[in-house]
Amino acid sequence: MPWWFDRLLECDGLEIHPVQERADRSCEPCTPEEADFWSVYGHLREGGVLCLEDFTTEAKARAFAETLLSAWPWLHAHGRGG
């Protein structure tokens, strides 16, 4: 099982964001045109997000999110992009 599996219970939604890797290897949200990859985040009930997985394309990120949403319907409650 993936490391985040048990932590899904802390989430009430999903978010998908384009991400750009900077020269210093840090990452930050960006516009879709600037994306180096796409990340799927769990929206934490207590606030904030938990990065679940990174994908090379938006389509792959959305497919992963749809799989999670199908298996765990409560993830439809909050978040965006899922």
Please state, in angstroms and rounded to a whole number, the distance separating the CA atoms of residues 22 and 15: 21
SS3 content of the chain, % helix, strand, coil (to 5): 35, 40, 25
Tell me what the mean pLDDT of segment 45-49 comes to. 93
Contact between 16 and 62 (Cβ < 8 Å): yes
pLDDT at 30 over 50: yes
Range of the domain at 32: 5-80
Tell me what the mean pLDDT of segment 33-62 comes to. 96
Number of domains in the chain: 1
**Tell me, what's the pLDDT at 81?**
53
**Tell me, what's the pLDDT at 76?**
87
pTM of the model: 0.90
